[in-house]
Amino acid sequence: MEAKMIPYLEFENAKEALAYYQQVFGATNVYRVSPTADEAEQYGLNADVELSQLTMRGGFQLLGLDVQCADAFMGQPTSSTLISLMLLVDEDDSDSVKALTALYQRLVKADVKIISPFTDQQQGGKMGQIVDAYGITWILREAPTQPVVPTPAD
């Protein structure tokens, strides 16, 4: 069996959020699909709503990873500290390390809150943590291919 987990984010205005991730994070392959009149009716949206301004489904890629999103048609979205999104790269893959480092440097200059700087970790690699303008926590992690297993204390 093969499965894949894709983060799915809901926003008050996904069209605006997609532009933010493209500009601030350097997201690529950004797409957005507005709801049809039938879909708008199914979600109980007002008949006079401008469908082209709404997002039924959308998404982007960040470091080659898929993130999907939509407008929160079922109510006001709220962020949570229960879930963080981790972008993990192999520290032996120099291209991935460069891309992750460049992303962190880009974010430092942008509208994000730095929780912890992207620095060396005791268990190997580097890690940093930020919160974006939508309250989503992102962990940037560069780690060894093989996890470092702590040895028991004598």
**pLDDT for the residue numbered 79:** 81
Is residue 55 within 8 A of residue 32, CB to CB? The reply is yes
**pLDDT for the residue numbered 147:** 57
**pLDDT for the residue numbered 88:** 95
pTM over 0.85: yes
Same structural domain, 65 and 120: no
Same structural domain, 92 and 66: no
Q: Please indicate, yes or no, if residue 21 is contained in any of the structural domains.
A: yes
Domain that residue 124 falls in: 84-143
Q: Please indicate, yes or no, if residue 77 is contained in any of the structural domains.
A: no
Secondary structure string (H, E, C) spanning 26-74: CCEEEEEECCCHHHHHHCCCCCCCCHHHCCCEEEEEECCEEEEEEECCC
Model confidence over 37-64: pLDDT tens digits?
Answer: 999 889 888 888 899 999 999 999 999 9
Q: Please indicate, yes or no, if residue 91 is contained in any of the structural domains.
A: yes
Same structural domain, 59 and 97: no
Alpha-carbon distance of 40 to 89, in angstroms, equals 39
**pLDDT for the residue numbered 46:** 86
**pLDDT for the residue numbered 24:** 96
Residues of the chain with pLDDT under 50: none
Same structural domain, 101 and 135: yes
**pLDDT for the residue numbered 111:** 76
**pLDDT for the residue numbered 99:** 96
Coil/strand/helix, residue 134: coil
**pLDDT for the residue numbered 144:** 83
**pLDDT for the residue numbered 150:** 62
Alpha-carbon distance of 117 to 5, in angstroms, equals 26
State how many domains the chain has.
Answer: 2
**pLDDT for the residue numbered 48:** 87
Same structural domain, 49 and 14: yes
